[in-house]
Structure 1
């Protein structure tokens, strides 16, 4: 009499099934262990705290003033950055404050020779309200580099600060002729507020309104 062979389960079959379940469970566990996404950052500065966002906005404003070489105003805004909660932004502000302080130092002990050195000294004198010394240095810079548009632009700004409209317009016109981009800079430059009501200033900055070429 023949016996029917019993069907045996493959050795370790149930173990393999258990291993598969365990592997899937491990994946689920890993997914559960994933934390929330990192907070948004800019240049290594976390932007979650609204106070940090405001501090960053102030820092950007200070940099804009710094690049326009308006060091006196830039210093005030940089000092406001120091009051914010982000140590990273405060450290950056301190670096720029050191540069600003250096640029604003009276340069009597220095002996500027090149047009650029006279220009830098003139701007430094403007920033601390020493108009006569500023004009002396900027005039020397213009004489040494008559086609330097930024020198004419600085002289135009100085003329506005000292209430000399005709000279300001003449210098600004020359700055624009040498470099057309100066027209757009002057539109947003608070140093030219003195000329805002002068129709000649409007014609110079917005020639398209009258069909004039720049």
Structure 2
């Protein structure tokens, strides 16, 4: 199961091996062994699924410690621009963003460790997104960053007038003002 490191430490793209023939396709969308083989000892405890219309942005969200979540994200229908921001104090990549288009067609997934704000924008007419989490959601631990923070300069993949957000996401603080209790801890390099 191929994992590809990104420009930000501990953040990985997972591209499953897909077996296709005249009947359709088959692939292993998750394997605990594959994660352990590259040094990621993760136990997922919750699966979340969302359905959204074109232009919807959900994010940028995170859960504060001790309820922080690592996630494995994929689009099972449609296409999204998935975006993360490193918010681990002390990280050489603090405040840097990474984005990738996750689609039902490309079947790529993004592994996002705790210490990142996460969001996505729906590029297709609709999209169904599924993500695994290694900790349960906790309302009191919710945190977030504004989608249009000028310091982040995020390209959501659509013109501004096509973006759709709820009021809660519009009211999130900028990165400079967000509540954050993440500290970067260098880990042994994963084998990929």
TM over 0.5: no
Query: Which one has the bigger strand percentage?
Result: 2
Bigger radius of gyration: 1
Query: Which one has the bigger helix percentage?
Result: 1
TM bin (shorter chain): under 0.3
